[in-house]
Amino acid sequence: MNQRYQHKEIEEKWQKIWDRQKLFKVTEDPTKKKYYLLEMFPYPSGKIHMGHVRNYSIGDVVARYKKMKGFNVLHPMAWDAFGMPAENAAIEHGVHPAKWTYENIDYMRNQLKRMGFSYDWDREFATCDVSYYQWEQLFFLKMYEKGLAYKRRSFVNWCEICKTVLANEQVMSDGTCWRGHADDSGVTQKELDQWFFKITEYAEELLEWCEKLPGWPERVLTMQRNWIGKSIGAEIHFPLENSKEVIKVFTTRQDTVFGATFMSLAPEHPLALSLSKGTAQEQSVREFVERMRRQDKIKRTAETAEKEGIFTGGYCLNPLTQARMPIFVANFVLMEYGTGAVMAVPTHDQRDFEFAKKFGLPLIVVVQTEDLTLDANTMAEAYEGEGFLVNSGQFNGMDSVRAREKIAQYLEEKGLGGSRISYRLRDWGISRQRYWGAPIPIIYCDRCGTVSVPEKDLPVVLPSHVEITGTGQSPLTGLKEFVETRCPQCNGPAQRETDTMDTFVESSWYFDRFACPDYDKGPLEKKRVDYWMPVDQYIGGIEHAILHLLYSRFFTRVLKEMGWVSVSEPFTNLLTQGMVCKEVYECPKDGYLFPDEVTLQGEKLHCQKCDSQISIGRLEKMSKSKKNVVDPEYLIEKYGADTARMFCLFASPPEKDLDWSDQGVEGSARFLNRVWRLIYEQHHHLLNIRPLPFGVVLAGDQKALRQKTHRTIKKVTEDIERFHLNTAISAIMELVNEIYVSALKDSTDERSRKVIREAMEMVVVLLSPFVPHFAEELWEALGFQESIMKTQWPDYDPDAILEDEILIVIQINGRLRDRMTIPVSYGEEEVKVWALKSERIQKLVEGKEIKRVILVPKKLVNIVC
């Protein structure tokens, strides 16, 4: 054993050994209990970042722990390898996306190996490989057959910087692209033919199952529920005047239908233009609609935006009152929610109220309460609450909640609509006008129309010779040999679809593929997938709370229906780890600065470029643009992978944000050195010593240290189980501190040696999931031949953790006044008596009447007086 802890040497040594022994390779073994631990796989952007280090360190602790616990642990890693950065690199530097991607993968694989994560590397794959995405094309065809994939012309979110379409989930609430460009000009609307996956068909199931995922963080489920956005209401048909056509609306307040005095349509609604045709309004309506369509959707639909609208010239009839209702086009009505048409009840909806006031439209109160008496002539705002119905024909006097039910029933009976449920969730637009993605297996024939590529002709391989220019059109469109093909039905000339699939399609089933990455007769080998799925523990960033996690849940249901998987939900337990943050320096003139561009002058920080004074910004997520990143590579070089892992795990609990601290890293390194020195000093005298068996009776220092050792085993085990990794490490630190001050260290007594030996062994074993190379090396120094990973996770001796004396706190009126140590065997009365005997207590209660004495066994005595 080396006197000094040489991290580089040790880490290289053990990584080689693990590799050679294939220590983390797993196969399906029905005799063993499986445990599938998965971390979100990375996009191969070039280098790993601290977020990866943290995410994968957390996962690795659990994977190694479960393995030592005897589980058959699947812990795989792969690459989410399709996507735009590869294509952008091609545009900027002329390097082919495939070359760029595979080189990045090689580099990052090497970095992950240097971190010592316990992956079964034999299961690695890259999603940009045809052996992976070919199966996605098969899924697409099956979904197309079932109507779950379809094409429609629609308004889509278009990011001018990415030059592609975004799904609704990929547009942030401030109207920017989820990729977060430095110069974010916002996402605009564009009308395009697009492929969609019918996720809306699963809205109810996905929502219902939110209740059946107790292993998920509540906030993720809440976000998903919000996103699905279920509303219970009714559809009502309003006949157009002088026409057989009806306008269908969705409302959650069908109880107010008697108060509907006009109609509002979305600018995109087909009737908006047709109703005004040939009327005096035709021109102005057209102008209004055009203007709205051009306007930024986010701005148009912001709550603060002014209500704008225009009369179409058309009328419809309120089906319950036969009142004549003018039809307007209004900026706040959204085509993609409900039916794109809203019955306007100005008395009981604030938006309609404002709109009616602006256009001088009639108000009819239809809901009243006992307390307020609403008057249409004087009311200053809409009343949106519940009450009883008035001016509502046969429904008068009925409670508004009950009226909703009755009116829906009535509508149903009369064929005027009926109960409906509406969701906010839209279908998932998967078309991307990009090269670096999985081609959609569709052919367009002039004669036969849209034809799917026959299964036997799969895969549609992404051509490698292509010119990438970044014009906004898929580079595939200009590629004759790709586009021009024969129709599989009539053999006539035809063209291939040039859109590729959203990269979230790849990440929606990669976790299934890990069960059988080498399988080539189909996408998934049922037997193996059934053995491993579902994922027992999934770990990743909160930023995927909706996107990836919702898509994956949807995809799992689809694959289940197709018979490829047996589970409905892919992830049993989910841990969303916090971000890695560091303070930012921002100069008023020069923007964000690197830490070495800042100098300390007295108490104040100054910019080296312009000498302006700089305030230390708040902690922000590490990002290149904010110049506050720490490169893991540097950490591995200087401190080693184990120290880097140690810091990430110790500095904060997994689900919270981690604040970067250089001093904290030093502290972690110091702790490992401290453990190293301890074992270095002792290991010669411990070599042939074996720990005492369970149940042995000790006394004094021996008993004390053995007790601490076994309590630490208990604590660390429980803490890992509940992901309190920071406190698990604290517990080990405490044990180390105790060994340092223990008199047993210098004793030559055989029993003392055994107790010390056990304490040391346990420090190393308990540390092994956290700092595996370090632990392996010390384990070897303690005389073990085999990898520490082959050791059983230790149990604690229940006898060893028992006390025979305990500390009892004595309170007077709930305030701490004294402490006493008493034998554990004392009965309740005995404890009370002893507490009252205390000198200090005697003094304090002197002359007072003791009203009550409360005893909490093994904890405290509280004297009330």
Partner RNA sequence: GCCGAAGUGGUGGAAUUGGUAGACACGCCAUCUUGAGGGGGUGGUGGGUAAUCCCCGUGGGGGUUCAAAUCCCCCCUUCGGCACCA
Tell which positions 310-369 bind RNA, by CB under 7 A.
331-335, 337-340, 342-343, 349, 351
**Mapping DSSP to helix (H, G, I), strand (E, B) and coil, where does residue 323 land?**
coil
Stretch that binds RNA, among 22-30, 38-46, 633-641, 735-743 (CB under 7 A): 735-743
For the bound state, the minimum distance from the C-beta of residue 157 to RNA, rounded and expressed in Å, comes to 12
Q: Is the distance from CB of 61 to CB of 99 less than 8 angstroms?
A: no
According to the 3-state scheme, what is the secondary structure of 508-538?
HCHHHHCCCCCCCCCCCCHHHHHHHCCEEEE
Helices (H), 770-827: 772-781
Q: Bridge-partner residues for 810, per DSSP?
A: 818, 861
Single residue of 55, 154, 164, 251 touching RNA by CB under 7 A: 251
Q: Are strands 860-864 and 164-166 parallel, antiparallel or unpaired?
A: unpaired
Would you count residue 703 as binding RNA (CB under 7 A)? no
User: Nearer Cβ to RNA, position 399 or 738?
Assistant: 738
Instruction: Give the shortest CB-183-to-RNA separation in angstroms.
Output: 20
Residues of the chain by 3-state class (helix, strand, coil), percent to 5: 40, 20, 40
Tell me if 734 contacts RNA by CB under 7 A. Answer: yes
When asked if residue 291 is in the footprint of RNA (CB under 7 A), the reply is: no
Least spacing, CB of residue 191 vs RNA, in Å: 18
Can you say whether the dihedral through the CA atoms of 225, 226, 228, 234 is positive or negative?
Answer: positive
Tokens linked to 727: 């406190």
**303 or 413, CB closer to RNA?**
303
Candidate list 47, 406, 674, 683; residue touching RNA; CB under 7 A: 674
- Residues, the chain: 865
The verdict on 726 binding RNA (CB under 7 A) reads yes
Note every long-range contact of 810-818, with CB atoms under 8 Å and residues 24 or more positions apart, other chains counting. 810/835, 810/838, 810/841, 810/860, 810/861, 810/863, 811/860, 811/861, 811/862, 811/863, 812/841, 812/844, 812/845, 812/862, 812/863, 812/864, 812/865, 813/862, 813/863, 813/864, 813/865, 814/862, 817/841, 817/844
Q: Would you say 280 or 302 has its CB closer to RNA? A: 302
Give dist(CA 799, CA 802) in Å, integer: 5
Binding of RNA by 610 (CB under 7 A)? no
CA distances from 317 to 248, 262, 265, 321, 583 (A): 12, 9, 15, 8, 62
Please name the amino acid found at residue 671: F
* Using rule CB under 7 A, residue 663 touches RNA: yes
616 or 816, CB closer to RNA? 816
Q: β-pairing, 805-812 with 860-864?
A: parallel
Q: Does 303 sit near RNA (CB under 7 A)?
A: yes
Site stretch for RNA (CB under 7 A), options 13-21, 203-211, 249-257, 388-396: 249-257
Whichever of 466 and 812 has its CB closer to RNA, that residue is 812
- The token duo for 364 is 């009819």
> Least CB distance from residue 401 to RNA, whole Å?
15
SS3 750: helix
Q: Which is nearer to RNA, 248 or 606 (CB)?
A: 248
Does residue 250 belong to the site contacting RNA (CB under 7 A)? Answer: yes
* Residue entry with tokens 């045709």: 277
The single residue among 114, 548, 582, 817 that binds RNA, judged by CB under 7 A, is 817
**Does 199 contact RNA by CB under 7 A?**
no
Residue 856 binds to RNA (criterion: CB under 7 A)? yes
Amino acid at 312: T
The answer to whether 577 and 62 are in contact (CB under 8 A) is: no
Q: E-strand spans in 98-256?
A: 149-159, 164-166, 187-197, 230-239, 246-251
- Contact with RNA (CB under 7 A) among 183, 211, 306, 413: 306
Window contacting RNA (CB under 7 A); options: 67-75, 225-233, 750-758, 795-803:
225-233
Of the two residues 28 and 818, which places its CB atom closer to RNA in the complex? 818
Q: Which of 98, 479, 562, 733 binds RNA (CB under 7 A)?
A: 733
Site for RNA in 167-186 (CB under 7 A): 172-173
Instruction: Confirm or reject binding of residue 836 to RNA (CB under 7 A).
Output: no
133 vs 250, beta carbon nearer RNA: 250
State the nearest-atom distance from the C-beta of 178 to RNA, in Å. 9
Residues 517-556 that bind RNA (CB under 7 A): 542, 545-546
Name the one range near RNA by CB under 7 A: 26-34, 214-222, 365-373, 492-500. 214-222
* Alpha carbon distance 699, 805 (integer Å): 12
Q: Is 652 near RNA (CB under 7 A)?
A: yes
- Which of 438, 651, 686, 705 contacts RNA by CB under 7 A? 651
**130 contributes a contact to RNA by CB under 7 A:** no
Q: What minimum distance in Å lies between the beta carbon of 302 and RNA?
A: 6
Q: Which of residues 794-813 bind RNA (CB under 7 A)?
A: 807, 809, 811, 813
372 vs 864, beta carbon nearer RNA: 864
25-33, 187-195, 409-417, 849-857 -> range binding RNA (CB under 7 A): 849-857
667 sits near RNA (criterion: CB under 7 A)? yes
Residue with tokens 């909706």: 546
Q: Which amino acid is at 557?
A: R
Q: Are strands 658-659 and 613-621 parallel, antiparallel or unpaired?
A: unpaired
> Which CB atom, from 286 or from 424, has the smaller least distance to RNA?
424
Query: Which residues are within 8 A (CB) of 164 and not within 5 positions of it... i.e. 6 or more apart?
Result: 84, 158, 432, 433, 434
Site string for RNA, 370-409 (x = CB under 7 A): ----------------------------------------
Q: How far is the CB of 726 from RNA (least distance, A)?
A: 5
The least CB distance from residue 424 to RNA, in Å, is 4
Give the residue with the Cβ less far from RNA, 142 or 404. Answer: 404
Size of the site for RNA (CB under 7 A): 87
Cβ closer to RNA: 342 or 516? 342
Give 550-608 as a DSSP string.
HHHHHHHHHHHHTTS---S-SEEEEEEE--EEEEEEEETTTEEE-GGGEEEETTEEEET
Q: What angle do CA 154, 157, 160 make, to 5 degrees?
A: 130
Is 209 an interacting residue with respect to RNA (CB under 7 A)?
Answer: no
**Is 154 a binder of RNA (CB under 7 A)?**
no
Site for RNA in 413-442 (CB under 7 A): 422, 424
**Using an 8 Å Cβ cutoff, are 453 and 141 in contact?**
yes
Task: Kindly state the DSSP code that residue 79 receives in the 8-state scheme.
Answer: B
Closest approach of Cβ 352 to RNA, in Å? Answer: 8
Residue 860 contacts RNA per CB under 7 A = yes
- Select the residue interacting with RNA from 134, 188, 252, 791 (CB under 7 A): 252
**Least Å from the CB of residue 78 to RNA:** 27
Q: Measure Cα distances from 813 to 597, 818, 847 in Å.
A: 58, 12, 15
How far apart are the C-alpha atoms of 429 and 156, rounded to whole Å? 8
| Three-state SS at 728 | helix
Q: Which stretch binds RNA (CB under 7 A): 67-75, 203-211, 789-797, 852-860?
A: 852-860
Cα–Cα–Cα angle for 654, 775, 760, nearest 5°? 105
Applying CB under 7 A, among 592, 664, 683, 685 the residue interacting with RNA is: 664
Please give the residues from 740 up to 759 whose contact with RNA meets the rule CB under 7 A.
Answer: 740-741
Among 219, 291, 358, 604, binds RNA (CB under 7 A): 219
* Given 231, 284, 391, 495, the residue binding RNA (CB under 7 A): 231
Binds RNA by CB under 7 A, chosen from 191, 666, 749, 799: 666
